[in-house]
Amino acid sequence: MNNKLTVFIEINGTSIYVGDIIGDTPARASFTYSPEYLLNPENRPISISLPLTKAAFSPEQTKTFFDGLLPEGFTRRCVASWMHVDENDYLSILAGLGHECLGAVRIVAQNSPHLPPEYRRLTDAEAKNLAREGATESAQLITKSHLSLTGASGKVGLYYDEKNNQWYLPVGDAPSTHIVKQSHVRLQEIVANEQLCLLTARNLGIDIPESFIVNIGDFSDGDVLFATRRYDRKIHPDARIINGLSVPYRLHQEDFAQALGIASANKYEREHEDYLNRMFALLRAYSADPMTDQLKLWDICIYNYLIGNTDNHIKNLSLLYSPDLKSIRLAPAYDIISTVIYESSTENMALSIGGIYKLNEITKQSFEAQSKHIGLGTNLAMKRFDAMVSHFHEALNKAVINLELQGFVHAHDLKEKNTCQRGNPASIIFGHFS
């Protein structure tokens, strides 16, 4: 393991040296801002949980933020296996994958070979393999490209050339433009499920990134990929060119686990941890538009409930920074699916509503109690609740028609599963709340 990892961040399109992680093991590694970074009054912290200070942060604080940049679960185990390192050794994995992370942070290992940035065109065969092999294939691509994306599902960062409808694999520190997910062998039609949920969210006025399904066959699970345009990447008119492609700027982001200083392993709320209250308090303290962002987060909470998304943990909600790091806003919603349509899913929400976790025990009164607890005006909060409930089915039906026109003939069946599955409020919504 390298004793030193150098941390950079992109500010207004320019890579800036931030500081170093020094230590040979996770238990002894600590992050320190460089004197040069601290001396510039224009510079800002790379995380709310890592304020500007001369002192070194503890190994626990360091791990919480930087480990939060890495994949989780099966994908992490696959990556660690490819790299021949322990999956718990976040420093070694970060040394290999830190060239392209979520947000604008980059990690460079001491004495690591420099990989010139480039974009390597993916063949149709490689795209098909990516769809059919899932997390195993994505882990191989991740390792080869030195790219890190958080989450437990198989996903890679790719560059999409819209003009020519062509996909490229970023190599070195070349930024990607899209996050591409594979179908999951255990979760039938998960790609169509996520797109259906995101389209429905958009129809309800929730801010989401542009997303689309890449069909490379007959619309079966093994022939589709789910692509989401990265909200933390933006192509500027003055962008540099690599391999004939415009290179996007990196915009910084962090998820709420990182911002609150909560380890990824604790992303699911346990009793009395009160994550939602802490998230709303953070928005009031740091958002450039606190009220707007609180209402946006409130809408997302309502929507996750309506579609039966019990995977609504704090790593699936993020903050997005301005290019100069001086302004913070709630990021668009992402990773929203109806989990309750799958028999293997839990019936407990990742974040409690009014102190209640079990989906089918949450009521309108639970949301009313939660609105008071997080400091939102109850009248305003519940008006938004009622509006979303009353427009939910219309928004869902529009999304179904959209998917069917794209060739996904089973979109209606997914809707039926969503609205009829055990514990899903969409099946009983009008009975409870009319």
pLDDT tens for each residue of 289-346: 999 999 999 999 999 999 999 999 999 999 999 999 999 999 999 999 999 888 888 8
How many CB atoms are closer than 10 A to CB 271? 8
- Dig out the tokens for 192 from the structure: 């169509």
The whole-number pLDDT of residue 123 equals 84
Q: What is d(CA 202, CA 112) in angstroms, rounded to the nearest whole number?
A: 43
The whole-number pLDDT of residue 131 equals 60
Triad 177, 158, 223: Cα angle to 5°: 125
How many CB atoms are closer than 10 A to CB 165? 8
Residue with tokens 């699936």: 316
Q: What is d(CA 197, CA 19) in angstroms, rounded to the nearest whole number?
A: 40
* Contacts with 431 (C-beta within 8 Å, 6 or more apart), sequence order: none
- Dig out the tokens for 255 from the structure: 């998820």
> Which SS3 state, helix, strand or coil, does residue 264 take?
helix
What's the pLDDT band for 152 if we cut at 50, 70, 90?
A: very low
Percent of the chain past pLDDT 70, that is, above it, reads 85
Q: What is d(CA 70, CA 142) in angstroms, rounded to the nearest whole number?
A: 11
pLDDT tens for each residue of 315-331: 999 999 999 999 999 99
Report residue 410 CA to chain centroid gap. Answer: 27
- Complete DSSP assignment for 301-347: HHHHHHHT-----GGGSEEEE-TTS--EEEPPP-S----TTSTTS-S
**Domain 253-433 top-level CATH class:** mainly alpha
> Which residue, among 254, 241, 240, 227, has the nearest Cα to 101 in the 3D structure?
254
In angstroms, the Cα distances linking 145 to 96, 148, 176, 232 are 9, 9, 11, 19
Residue 18 scores a pLDDT above 50: yes
Model's pTM, two decimal places?
A: 0.91
Q: What is d(CA 290, CA 285) in angstroms, rounded to the nearest whole number?
A: 8
Contact status, residue 194 vs residue 153, Cβ threshold 8 Å: no
What's the pLDDT band for 424 if we cut at 50, 70, 90?
A: low
Residue with tokens 């942060």: 57
Domain ranges of the chain: 4-109, 118-250, 253-433
> Which residue, among 7, 62, 2, has the nearest Cα to 34 in the 3D structure?
7
**Backbone torsions φ then ψ of 327, nearest 5 degrees:** -135, 140
Residue with tokens 């224009």: 42
Q: Calculate mean pLDDT across residues 123-141.
A: 62
Triad 175, 122, 87: Cα angle to 5°: 60
Q: What is d(CA 185, CA 175) in angstroms, rounded to the nearest whole number?
A: 29
pLDDT tens for each residue of 94-122: 988 888 888 999 999 987 777 788 999 98
Contact status, residue 44 vs residue 33, Cβ threshold 8 Å: no
> Which SS3 state, helix, strand or coil, does residue 220 take?
coil
Q: What is d(CA 378, CA 6) in angstroms, rounded to the nearest whole number?
A: 47
Residue with tokens 């938004």: 384
How many CB atoms are closer than 10 A to CB 278? 16
Q: What is d(CA 175, CA 145) in angstroms, rounded to the nearest whole number?
A: 11
The whole-number pLDDT of residue 224 equals 74
Residue type for position 268? Y
